[in-house]
Chains A and B, each alone.
Chain A
């Protein structure tokens, strides 16, 4: 009964947050998984300190579905381990708009550690899978411009590249 409840809950979570379970190539600065498939896994294994009763493999990637479930098979791929925030220095900074870590609580939400690639793509103007100083430089070039030619950089779709667009880029900053 408990297992069924867990599975049901897992399905609910996956349906509610589909972006956390998608199959894709996995890569980082020091590895790349071209094919997100491993074999059927091992059998029972024991040592003096543990027993591994069974293990599952990842026999296929992709989406399987029936009338009652959808299985999104593959590795969880987090290509951008982002530190979107930084610890403020103890030295009091001077002026200017600056960014640090807001404390959680009240109506202010805590910073998010990473964002799905579909979001990063929107503020990644040079296609390096990051929202960083390069994208900021590109956005600044089109600052205060209007119209269809700069629609790509008008992140909040108010027909103008202005400070709110900078704020959006800053919020999704990956460094």
Chain B
């Protein structure tokens, strides 16, 4: 009897707690598209990939899917992305764009831009943008994977611009600000003492980074310029200077040189000083010998 009465009261309490507490947990993040301009055949439009998150996230990855017969990618832009560091450049692979990366500061909120893709509409009709894969990781120090909800978008590409509206290309925004080099360093590779790692972090909120290049010095002369599309590349342990240049999509350039002074001392300075000492000593000895010879000749 008592047991029945307890069950009678406890069951509603349990159900209440189950649904209220369960319902209070954070909703999964949502990754979706935002397209401002209506796509028109032959013109370009931008699709932004945005994320809404109730809980702090710090890493993301997705594979975007688009119909490559209908749309052509003209530009992939992560200059306004909440992602600060990416292990790979956004890859456009015939209808799929892969992107992953992390935020130095966790993201929580709505409308966080992950990536912006500029398409050109090459055929009229319907074009669906969607995701083949998507994942996010909670900023909890455990690498907890959070499966986001993903939303597709169906675009209707009109044959021509509506009457009276010109489909003029959007003029690019003026960007006079040079790109930022937020971090640049020659690191000792903690796992392999036979090489070093060049670490850099660059950003350009105005027009985005176009290219990063570097050249190195192992002796006195510079190597050729090499394109650096990596946030960390291996360097020979003999490198003692790196000149680094970054160019944004508006042509603004920032240049910086970093030195590894201990390597410079070991490879250049100390041998040069020793060589100078040897040359000076040799000169002194030769001079002394010449004087002795002259004195000897005079005495003769």
* A contact residues vs B (CB 8 Å cutoff): 86-103, 105-112, 115, 119, 122, 125-126, 133-138, 140-143, 155-157, 163-164, 166-168, 170-173, 175
Q: B226 in the interface, Cβ–Cβ < 8 Å?
A: yes
A97 contacts B76, CB within 8 Å? no
Query: Would you give the 0/1 interface string for B226-250, flagging 1 where the beta carbon is closer than 8 Å to chain A?
Result: 1111111111101100100000110
6 contacts between A and B (CB under 8 A): A91-B76, A94-B76, A95-B78, A164-B197, A166-B199, A170-B232
The stretch from B19-27, B134-142, B161-169, B280-288 touching chain A is: B134-142
Given that A108-B216, A134-B137 are contacting pairs, would A93 and B90 also be in contact in the complex, using a CB cutoff of 8 Å?
A: yes
Instruction: Give the interface SS of chain A, mostly helix, strand, loop or mixed.
Output: loop
Q: Once the chains bind, are B87 and A99 in contact (CB under 8 Å)?
A: yes
Let me know if A166 and B75 touch, CB within 8 A: no
Q: Is B43 on the interface with A (CB-CB < 8 A)?
A: no
Partner of A107 from the list B88, B103, B239 (CB cut-off 8 Å) is B239
> Is the pair A137, B87 in contact by a Cβ cutoff of 8 Å?
no
A106 interface neighbour in B81, B145, B224, Cβ under 8 Å: B224
Shortest Cβ distance from B279 into chain A, in angstroms? 28
The reply to whether B216 and A107 form a contact with Cβ atoms under 8 Å apart is yes
CA distance A87 to B103 in the complex (A): 23
With A89-B89, A91-B74, A136-B59 given, name 10 new contacts (CB 8 A): A90-B92, A92-B210, A95-B202, A98-B89, A99-B87, A99-B230, A99-B232, A137-B137, A141-B139, A167-B197
Chain A residues closer than 8 Å to B104, beta-carbon distance: 140, 143
CA distance A100 to B231 in the complex (A): 8
Q: Are A96 and B59 in contact (CB under 8 A)?
A: no
B contact residues around A88 at 8 Å (CB)? 89, 229
Choice from B87, B207, B208, B235 contacting A173 with Cβ under 8 Å: B87
Closest to A144 in B: B104
Partner of A97, one of B90, B200, B218, B227: B200
* Chain B residues with CB below 8 A from A86, complex form: 88-89, 91
- Distance A137 CA – B61 CA, assembled complex (angstroms): 11
